[in-house]
Chains A and B, each alone.
Chain A
Amino acid sequence: MLELQAVHKKFGGLHAVNDVSFSVNEGTIKSVIGPNGAGKTTLFNLIAGNLPPTDGTILFQGKAIQGRKPHQVAARGMARTFQNIKLFHGMTALECVMVGCHTQSKAGFISGMLNTPFARKEEKAIRQRSMELLQLLEIEEFAEVEATSLAFGQQRAVELARALALNPRLLLLDEPAAGLNIYETAEISRLICKIREMGVTVLLVEHDMSLVMEISDEVVVLCFGEKIAEDTPENIQQNPEVIRIYLGEDE
């Protein structure tokens, strides 16, 4: 599904991501953990096309995607959420999700301006589908509420719905539980498992250890941009080096 081969990213003299290789298998949940500044968000930005890697290859569904624009990567079926929630101001929750349907629809400037039957039909389908996604994430009651005025956990759910609207093969989640209380975290972890059941492969970055250990099939540990371990959650918890530099320090 996704394969990173010797990926490097330098910011000036700083190796934010240093020679990282791993792969994500179809239908699994893989987590990337590591202390703050380890390069996790940078890694996501490399995969999603927000940053070009300094070196290395990123294969998505067998094709090299490094250096592609984010919207091109998105069109190939990769969706993401952001560590700092990025919902659209002045738009309702439903409209935010409808933006997520962008790659699933075609109406352009001209058909939009003329409001052609094609555009109207498509619009109806998008609205319907977005509503279904809000239902899936159990926030349909907020469909007509301005997204940025929702409570934090609900905003995360809207972002998740927007990402799913893209009909992704792979979903990147950057700290989906950040800022959530334990109930909301449990809620999110249930939703992530639900998403995997739908056949979506998930790669997530997370600080919340219990969440990671509970839902991941495999875990990659980053530290100062380098991969120091990759294993099942059980083995990672036993790994002395991981305990020393990550668990011991952070908890």
Chain B
Amino acid sequence: MKVSKTNKILCLCALVILTQVTTTLTGTQYYLTQLTMAAYYGLVVIGLGVLMGYAGQISIGHAGFFAIGGYISAAMTTHNLVQLQDTPIISFCSQMGLLMERQDIYGDQLLTFAPWAACVTALLLAALIAFFLGIPVLKLKGHYLAMATLGFGTIIYRLVLATPLFGEADGISEVPAFTLLPAIGSLPPIMVSGDFGLRVINYYLAWGVLIIGMILLLNLIDSRVGRALRSLHSSEEAAEASGVHTSGCKVYVFVISAVYAALAGVLLTHYNAGIGPSEASVMKSVRYVALVAVGGMTNLWGTLIVGISLTFLSLRGVFGSYDDAVFAAILIGVMLFSPAGILSLRGCLLPSKQEIAPAKEENL
């Protein structure tokens, strides 16, 4: 069990390196851009996968959390604070090293929050919103939970569309690079940036984040809390009777999956140097749900592989202008033909082992 988990991770690492080497040798590095983006979307999908597949709670509002991450960090790192420079709050932030000074493309002075400060704020905000949204909403079940999270996603979408700070229909552009490690000696700086020269570094950065995220979730599933989540998915009553604080567990896993989505939003926004309202749209949320469903609800590896592959194809423009329609159609197809995800179809082709049917209980 343990060994195979480690081996799978090592295989994935090897595949990631192999892909990069191949693209370099064949001169097809342009694929790395979409692979980097796909890795960040993968982060959203695996976080949602744990929430949906293991804890059994649906969310059709995860694009909302992605947008909270992306928009908060975009707004904080682009909104010019020069005019407020002398106010006590801003000068305090400046002393704390939370600000970043640079020049915009016209050579005017620009004073904004530093990306790391924006990132921390965005993640905390997403966690906080998920927490306070989760408490009432996760009391709902099935359709009601789906509708409530859909409502949340819609609110975030309309908010970014209506708020000048968030660029309304245009979104936010000119988001600066997010420097994680400055250049040391001859080593290049490590920063989240769409710069062509940093393409390989960003590819590894994105996949590194995704793989770490994956390891953490795999650990979680196998842990005491993971078992509690799976148990409440199956029978809340029995889980409670075993001492599991089901509502608390649900809220925390919701927060974790929201933070995953928000982190993806933050990093992808810096990578793309901007974010637009379509990232917050309900269609995006539906797409994430579709990817989890196709990969297999209780199969985090399936979710990862399918999520990355389809997102990559979508980013390559394979589905053309039918993109959203393709994902919606995939969702319908999966629900009709293979509710346990396409990887489970493998099981249908092979003869399945006979299950011992439990005797039906009679109420005497």
Q: A47 to nearest B CB, angstroms?
A: 11
Binary contact readout A78-115 vs B (1 if CB under 8 angstroms, 0 otherwise):
01101111111111000110111111010111011111
- Interface range, A side: 35 or more
Q: Is the CB of B240 within 8 A of A70?
A: yes
Mark the stretch among A3-11, A23-31, A149-157, A219-227 that contacts chain B: A149-157
Mark the stretch among B16-24, B64-72, B116-124, B213-221 that contacts chain A: B213-221
B278 on the A face (CB < 8 A): no
Complex formed: what's the CA distance from A115 to B212 in Å? 13
Binary contact readout B228-261 vs A (1 if CB under 8 angstroms, 0 otherwise):
1011011101111111111000001100100000
- B residues less than 8 Å from A74 (CB atoms): 240-243
Complex formed: what's the CA distance from A147 to B360 in Å? 15
Complex formed: what's the CA distance from A95 to B226 in Å? 11
Complex formed: what's the CA distance from A82 to B363 in Å? 12
- Among B230, B238, B256, the residue within 8 A (CB) of A90 is B230
Q: Is the CB of A102 within 8 A of B243?
A: yes
Report the tally of A-B residue pairs with Cβ distances under 8 A: 137
- B residues less than 8 Å from A80 (CB atoms): 241
Complex formed: what's the CA distance from A99 to B226 in Å? 10
Complex formed: what's the CA distance from A87 to B241 in Å? 12
Q: Is the CB of A179 within 8 A of B361?
A: yes
- Among B245, B252, B364, the residue within 8 A (CB) of A178 is B364
Complex formed: what's the CA distance from A123 to B223 in Å? 7
Q: Is the CB of A115 within 8 A of B223?
A: yes
Q: B170 to nearest A CB, angstroms?
A: 38
Q: B339 to nearest A CB, angstroms?
A: 14
| Nearest opposing residue in chain A for B221, CB measure | A112
- B residues less than 8 Å from A178 (CB atoms): 361-364
> With A105-B224, A107-B223, A151-B356 known to touch, is A69 a contact of B363 (CB < 8 Å)?
no
- Among B233, B237, B298, B363, the residue within 8 A (CB) of A50 is B237
- B residues less than 8 Å from A84 (CB atoms): 361
Q: By CB atoms of chain B within 10 A, which of A70, A84, A96, A178 has the most?
A: A70
> With A109-B252, A178-B363, A179-B361 known to touch, is A99 a contact of B227 (CB < 8 Å)?
yes
Complex formed: what's the CA distance from A112 to B216 in Å? 8
Q: B144 to nearest A CB, angstroms?
A: 21
B105 on the A face (CB < 8 A): no
- Among A86, A102, A114, the residue within 8 A (CB) of B237 is A86
- A residues less than 8 Å from B233 (CB atoms): 89
A169 on the B face (CB < 8 A): no
Q: Is the CB of A87 within 8 A of B238?
A: yes
> With A102-B224, A151-B358, A151-B359 known to touch, is A114 a contact of B234 (CB < 8 Å)?
no
Complex formed: what's the CA distance from A148 to B244 in Å? 20
Q: B217 to nearest A CB, angstroms?
A: 7
- Among B231, B243, B246, the residue within 8 A (CB) of A166 is B243
- Among B231, B243, B246, B361, the residue within 8 A (CB) of A91 is B231
- Among A50, A71, A91, the residue within 8 A (CB) of B227 is A91
| Nearest opposing residue in chain B for A79, CB measure | B241
Further pairs besides A50-B237, A96-B231: 14, Cβ < 8 Å: A48-B241, A70-B237, A74-B240, A74-B243, A79-B242, A90-B234, A95-B230, A99-B227, A107-B225, A112-B220, A119-B223, A152-B361, A166-B242, A179-B359
- Measured CB to CB, the residues of B under 8 A from A are 216-217, 219-220, 223-228, 230-231, 233-235, 237-246, 252-253, 256, 298, 355-364
Would you list 12 pairs from A and B whose C-beta atoms are within 8 A, ordered by A residue?
A: A71-B244, A86-B237, A88-B239, A89-B233, A95-B227, A102-B228, A105-B224, A112-B224, A113-B217, A151-B356, A162-B242, A179-B359
